[in-house]
Amino acid sequence: MQWPWPRPLGINSGPSRRAAAAAAAAAAKKDKKQMSEGELQQLRLKINSRERKRMHDLNIAMDGLREVMPYAHGPSVRKLSKIATLLLARNYILMLTNSLEEMKRLVSEIYGGHHHHAAAAVAAYHPSACGAMSHGPPLPGHPVGHPMHHPLLPSTAATLATTGITAVRAAPPPPPPPAPIPQAPHPASHGLLKSPSPGSAPLGGAFPHWSGMPCPCSMCQVPSAAHHHVSRLSADSK
DNA sequence: TAGGCCATCTGGTCCT
DNA sequence: AGGACCAGATGGCCTA
């Protein structure tokens, strides 16, 4: 259907329209009364199946969203819940927007309005790899000694906290960190791990971290947020 | 055991 | 009319 966004209330929903719909529903009900039990059951199964498919598609889309989120991926890592995924995605978008604005501002400061050079500088400074979150070794032109603000600043976990949502089974009362959170190395107790093994790469090496930047994951945004719950991975694939 | 998350079923509503 | 979307109800699974 061509309505991939929530339908605003009130569209085409005047009293007459509603009455018509109600009448149609009533008629359908009457038809259903005339249907045999078997036919009714067939119809129900068909509708249920459609709904299942719809929800599966929704989950696939949700998985797609998880894949591009700056968050741990991998078999040993528990999946973000749906609500956490959406909230993290929102913050991620806000962060990228802020990042872009900040970048523009810096560039225009540096180049003092020479837009041509400024644009080139932006391209060189902020390669697309940054957006792809593949932060391995520093990229050419991608400063390692980034000021403490890679603007992943709107804290996901903070938002989650303010919305009363626990990101990935957040552990209770996270004392809010006053300032930028120290990033490296990740504590072994980072969470989302099946069995935190000291010495092994945090998060199984699955988590892309910026060198010299705050970690974007909600784990780091709020200490002790999100722990355990790995076994649901298997349950999720039921 | 309580609480969180999820899948599924179901009826209502709206759109094409 | 048929399909999509939505929200409430229900029950299962899992963890603290």
Q: Which residue is the nearest neighbor of B5, CA to C1'?
A: A81
Distance A236 CA to C16 C1' (A): 20
Name all protein residues with C-beta less than 7 A from any atom of nucleic acid chain C. A 1, 3-4, 6-7, 24, 27-28, 31, 46, 50-51, 54, 169, 227-232, 234-235
Query: pLDDT, tens digit, for every residue of A126-150?
Result: 433 333 333 332 222 232 223 233 3
The per-residue pLDDT for A40 is 80
- Calculate mean pLDDT across residues A33-46: 78
pLDDT above 90 for A104: yes
Closest nt to A229 (CA→C1')?
C15
Q: Determine the Cα–Cα distance for residues A148 and A87; give it in Å rounded to an integer.
A: 23
Burial A155-194 (b: 16+ CB within 10 A, else e): bbbbbbbeeebbbbbbeeebeeeeeeeeeeebebebbbbb
Residue A147: is the preceding peptide bond cis (ω within 30°)? no
E strand intervals along chain A: none
Angle between helices A37-67 and A82-111 (to 10 degrees): 30
Closest nt to A228 (CA→C1')?
C15
Chain mean pLDDT for chain A: 53
- Calculate mean pLDDT across residues A96-119: 82
